[in-house]
Amino acid sequence: MNLEFSPEEQAFRDEVRAFIAENYPSDISGSGLRDDLSPEDMVAWHKILGEKGWSVPAWPVEYGGTGWTPTQRYIWSEENARVNAIMPLPFGVSMVGPVIYTFGSDAQKEQHLPGIRSGDVWWCQGYSEPGAGSDLASLKTTAVRDGDHYVINGQKTWTTLAQHADWGFFLCRTDPDAAKPQEGISFILVDMNTPGIEVRPIKLIDGGYEVNETWLTDVRVPVENRVGEENMGWTYAKFLLAHERSGIAGVARSKRAVAQLREIAKSEMLDDKPLMQDFDFARKVSQLEIDLAALEMTELRTLAGEQAGKGPGPESSILKIKGTEIQQRLTELTLEAVGHYGTPCYRDLADAGSNEYPIGPDYAHGSAATYFNMRKTSIYGGSNEIQRNIISKMILGL
Amino acid sequence: MDFNFTDEQTMVRDSLARLVRENYDFDTRRSVIEGDAGWRPEIWAQLAELGLLGMPFSEADGGFGGGAIDSMIVMEEFGKGLVVEPYVPTVVCAGGFFTHAGTDAQKAEHIGGIVDGSRVYAFAYAEPRGRYDLFDLETTAKRDGDGYVLNGHKAVVIAAPWASHLIVTARTSGERRDKDGITVFVVDKSSEGITTRDYPTVDGRRASEIYFENVAVPGDAVIGQEGNGLALIELVTDEAIAAQCAEACGAMKVAQEMTVDYSQQRKQFGTPIGKFQVLQHRMVDMFVEYEQSISMAYLATLRLGEDHRERKIAVSSAKVKIGQAAHHVGQEAIQIHGGMGMTDELAIGHYFKRLTIFDSEFGNVDHHMKRHMALVAEQ
């Protein structure tokens, strides 16, 4: 047992750091507000990594993965967080990609995996519906066989960044008479340019547009776009959710955010002293940092377990719960730190196009919006209550 | 980076688990802690015979070449059985002082006595006024010829009733809260001028108030440098904290599992209470706290060899996180056991009590939070 990097791992870190320094497009820095960025900016780093062969590190080598050890993957995410890099979006790389290489046909692998690796094809996720959130299996969107096509009808919601998507993966009910709601669902890949698909933006409480309603009306999709077997989609959906959770801890990002928070609190004043010297505030930051250390070690233990051959299991629910709680507390403390200058609606100021009189320090911009936005993290990807249900059932056996 | 135990470490863990299972069932433990002695010297002898008391010491010092990871393994298993025998005071604390700062002669005598089980040590560091500050010392050691004369009062010295020897921190110069002028001594407990008042602790162990009245000790009773002992005391205390963090993890694991078991048996409203989601989520939170605690026990143990700052940050982080978790898991375990959790006849209450007292040993959550805050502010 040890926490040291081996000489090989140190060399790997140097190589990765040098590559990022040379190749990361420095004009695009990470922002909490995704819709500040153009679609091109969002995939710029993905495309560079695709050419390097580093866009899908966690995939099996035969499908383009890097074969890195968990420690190397940890180093990779740390080094990217150092420059606040905009990482490849998860919908292709971490969600549908693993489903396709695990359950898909050879034709599907050939058609879709290259575009996911390169970043040329933008994916979105059609899971949630207005009436199916935590109770995902109650979804009502139907796919009815008509010759060698499915005809899809229904409404999906919270389809993140679907406004830019080329393809989507949808859960649809293919057997309305199945004995249990989990049975009778199929996992279908849909070209978002197919007639009958309408994507309508939803404005969120932070003022941004990152999610959509997606309406499907008589959308005709070839049967060969179904992944795996008909009516077995729930199995693939659960597999995907476990994969989605494993990267969700966001440790490297949160470490960077704690450092930023400390810097902000050194600039802000309280009782004529830097806020960081205030006992109550400093204590909250220390508690956050300690909780983050516990999360980091727990993630490293989970990664080590994966290296020993265990796939992402129900333990990843711990990472989801704790990782999102920490992200939320971080944004809450950052908003607290900036004081009065959390109040202005900077987005409206930017939209008005006037920056003649800059308002407040730069670091205050977006602090409230980011805090509002991050409330989503304990709701999406299986709400934190659902994660507790998973641990209760799968680990505690209750 | 490597999170695996060696084959040897796994073997040690398995044999310890068996030893605890076979010798430390709840009823046996209860009759032992309620008995006159309060512990079992024969268990101690067995640990020595199995080589467990010599594991963390280097082969040159007469041990088996292990280290802090071995002590972590031992204490996690001890925590599962609420073992009261004084591994931390003797092997980790006394052993740590001699390993880091002992002369060859001290090592031969004292580490030899620890490894073969013939000597038991207690660590007399706390004082009635000092709370958790290791440098807040009123006990004095005055030069007298080649030796020293000790005067003072040491508080709640765990395992002292069973000890043959004491490790004593005392002031050889300076004022009460000075960080310089602190010296570590090893003292034969039968020395003239030492009086003790022995008592049971709420978590099933034994402790003493120890009064030193003109206790003469020889010059070679000093461990390390005279007047320069604080860094050494902090190092050994951090090692003790790491080991006790592992102990708390062992106790938490059992408390959490007992609670889940109980919730599956206990029926109310015609159904096992473990079917109620409100209780399921609370038990999940206990489990999550336990998992994070194990992570922090690893972190503290694996960082013990780092420079001062890194080591202290890791150890204080662990003590905060596990101190909070120990309270949480203990309290929830009692709550979910309901009225039965309040009874002395169930094991769960004994786990709760050990987990409660864990927090106040070697500095509680608030103390280590402050140490963390001070260390990160240094940057």
pLDDT category at A38 given cuts 50, 70, 90 is: confident
A365 touches chain B (CB under 8 A): no
Residues B76 and B199 in one domain: no
In this structure, is residue A384 part of a structural domain?
yes
Instruction: Report yes or no on B1 lying in a domain.
Output: no
Least confident residue range of A251-255, A307-311, B76-80, B272-276: A307-311
CB-defined contacts A:B, below 8 A:
115
CATH number reported for the structural domain that contains residue B193 in this entry:
2.40.110.10
* Radius of gyration for chain B, computed over Cα atoms and rounded to the nearest angstrom: 21
Does residue A109 fall inside a structural domain? no
Does a structural domain hold residue B2? Answer: no
Round to whole Å and give the CA distance between A70 and B117: 42
A212 and A145 share one domain: yes
Q: State how far the Cα of A205 lies from the Cα of B287, in Å rounded to an integer.
A: 34
What is the mean predicted confidence (pLDDT) over A58-73? 92
pLDDT of residue A33: 46
Q: Is A62 a catalytic residue?
A: no
Which of the four pLDDT bands, split at 50, 70 and 90, describes residue A243?
confident
Helices A316-338 and A367-374 meet at what angle, rounded to 10?
150
Average pLDDT (A350-359) is 68
CA distance A398 to A386: 14
**A93 lies in some domain:** no
A240 within some domain: no
Residue type, B323: G
**Pairwise CA distance, residues B102 & B220, whole Å:** 10
Pair A78, A128 in one domain: no
Closest residue in A to B5 (Cα) is: A1
Q: Which residue has the tokens 């960025």?
A: A37
Q: Please report which confidence band the pLDDT of residue A273 belongs to, taking 50, 70 and 90 as the band edges.
A: very high
Domain span including residue A252: 247-394
Interface touch B264/A398, C-beta < 8 Å: yes
Is residue B56 scored above 90 in pLDDT?
yes
Which pLDDT does position B123 carry in this prediction? 98
Residues A389, A350 within the same domain: yes
Q: How confident is the model at residue A356 (pLDDT cuts 50, 70, 90)?
A: low
Q: How far apart are CA B183 and CA B168, in angstroms?
A: 8
Show the beta-strand stretches assigned E in chain A: 123-126, 142-146, 149-157, 167-173, 185-191, 197-202, 211-222, 226-227, 269-270, 273-274
Which residues constitute the domain of residue B167? 122-227
Which CATH number do you get for residue A60?
1.10.540.10
Of B181, B212, B227, the last residue of a domain is B227
The complex scores an ipTM of: 0.95
- A244, A268, A299, A315: the active-site residue: A244
For residues B141 and B251, membership in a common domain is answered with no
Q: Report how far residue A98's alpha carbon sits from residue A108's, in angstroms, rounded to the nearest whole number.
A: 12
Closest in B283, B302, B377 to A392, CB measured: B283
Quote the pLDDT of residue B38.
98
Within 8 A of B2 by CB-CB distance, chain A residues are 1-2, 304
Within a domain: residue A302? yes
B interface residues, A as partner, C-beta within 8 Å:
1-5, 69, 260, 263-264, 274-275, 277, 280-281, 283-285, 287-288, 291-296, 298-299, 302-303, 314, 317, 320-321, 369, 372-373, 376-377
Asked if A331 and A367 touch (Cβ cutoff 8 Å), the reply is: yes
CATH for A213: 2.40.110.10
- Whether B321 maps to a domain, the answer reads yes
* A293 lies in the same domain as A390: yes
The identity of residue B103, as a single letter, is T
Tokens read off for B209: 């108030």
Strands A123-126 and A167-173: parallel
Any chain B CB within 8 A of the CB of A322? yes
Decide which of B88, B119, B150 is a domain's last residue: B119
B377 contacts A277? CB cut-off 8 A: yes
Do residues A285 and A219 share a domain?
A: no
User: Which residue in B2, B284, B376 is closest to A286 by CB distance?
Assistant: B376
The reply to whether B277 and B361 lie within a common domain is yes
| B89 in a structural domain | yes
Q: How far apart are alpha carbons A136 and A122 in whole angstroms?
A: 24
| Statement to judge: residues B323 and B348 lie in one domain | yes
Does residue B267 sit within a domain? yes
Q: What is the arithmetic mean of pLDDT over A222-235?
A: 97
Q: Which residues of B touch A286 (CB under 8 A)?
A: 320, 369, 372-373, 376
* Same-domain pairing of B268 and B371: yes
What are the beta bridge partners of residue A371? none
Q: How many domains does chain A have?
A: 3
- Contact assignment for A2 to B302 by CB distance below 8 Å: yes
B247 shares its domain with B209:
no
Which whole number is the average pLDDT over A376-387? 93
CATH number of the CATH domain containing B241: 1.20.140.10
Band (A311; pLDDT cuts 50, 70, 90):
low
> Which CATH number do you get for residue B50?
1.10.540.10
- The whole-model pTM stands at 0.94
Residue B99: inside a domain, yes or no?
yes
Whole-angstrom distance, CA of residue B336 vs CA of residue A316: 26
The better pLDDT of the pair A58, A187 is held by: A187
Same domain for A76 and A210, yes or no, is no
Judge whether A273 is closer than 8 Å to chain B, CB to CB: no
Same-domain status, B283 and B359: yes
Domain shared by A211 and A251, yes or no: no
Is the pLDDT assigned to residue A246 strictly greater than 60?
A: no
Cα–Cα dist B241/B368, whole Å:
11
Residues A213 and A265 in one domain: no
Write the pLDDT tens digit of every residue in A90-138.
999 999 999 999 999 999 999 999 999 999 999 999 999 999 999 999 9
pLDDT digits (tens, 9 = 90+) for B103-151: 999 999 999 999 999 999 999 999 999 999 999 999 999 999 999 999 9
**B47 and B145 belong to one structural domain:** no
Question: Which residue type does B236 have?
Answer: V
Say yes or no: A279 and A183 in one domain.
no
Q: Residue B76 has what pLDDT?
A: 98
Q: Kindly identify which residue of chain A lies nearest to residue B296, measuring between CA atoms.
A: A294
Number of domains in chain B: 3
φ, ψ dihedrals at B206, nearest 5°: -130, 150
Whether B314 contacts B240, CB under 8 Å: no
Q: What span, in angstroms and rounded, lies between the C-alpha atoms of B119 and B164?
A: 6
- State the CATH number of the domain containing residue A270: 1.20.140.10
Domain boundary among A176, A203, A232: A232
Cβ of A398 within 8 Å of Cβ of B5? The answer is no
Task: Please check whether residues B92 and B199 belong to one and the same domain.
Answer: no
- Segment B68-92 shows an average pLDDT of 98
Do residues A306 and A358 share a domain?
A: yes
Closest partner residue to A396 (CB to CB) among B260, B321, B376 is B260
As a whole number of angstroms, the distance between CA A238 and CA B69 comes to 37
- Give residue A32's pLDDT: 42
Q: Do residues B83 and B132 share a domain?
A: no
- Residue B372 to residue A290, Cβ atoms within 8 A: yes
Considering the domain architecture, whether residues A228 and A253 belong to the same structural domain is answered as: no
pLDDT at residue A34, rounded to an integer: 53
Q: Residues B57, B31: one domain? A: yes
Q: Least CA distance to A304: which residue of chain B?
A: B3
Q: Which residue of A has its CA nearest to B376?
A: A286
Cα separation, A344 vs A349, whole angstroms? 8
Average per-residue pLDDT for chain A: 92
Same domain, B313 and B370: yes
Contact B283 A1 (CB under 8 A): no
Residue A96 lies in a domain: no
Residues in chain A: 398
Q: How far is residue B301 from each of residues A309, B7, B240, measured CA to CA in Å?
A: 26, 19, 10
Single residue among B198, B227, B256 that ends a domain in this structure: B227
User: Is the per-residue pLDDT at B292 higher than 80?
Assistant: yes
Q: Span A272-290, mean pLDDT?
A: 97
Residue A25 belongs to a domain:
yes
Helix (H) or strand (E) holding B169, with range, is strand B165-171
Residues A253 and A372 in one domain: yes
- The rounded percent of chain B whose pLDDT value lies above 70 is 100
| Sign, Cα dihedral of B306, B309, B315, B318 | negative
Contact B292 A295 (CB under 8 A): yes
Residue B198 has pLDDT above 90, yes or no: yes
C-alpha distance from A301 to closest chain B C-alpha (Å): 7
Which tens digits make up the pLDDT trace of B270-289? 999 999 999 999 999 999 99
Q: How many CB atoms lie within 10 A of CB B218?
A: 12
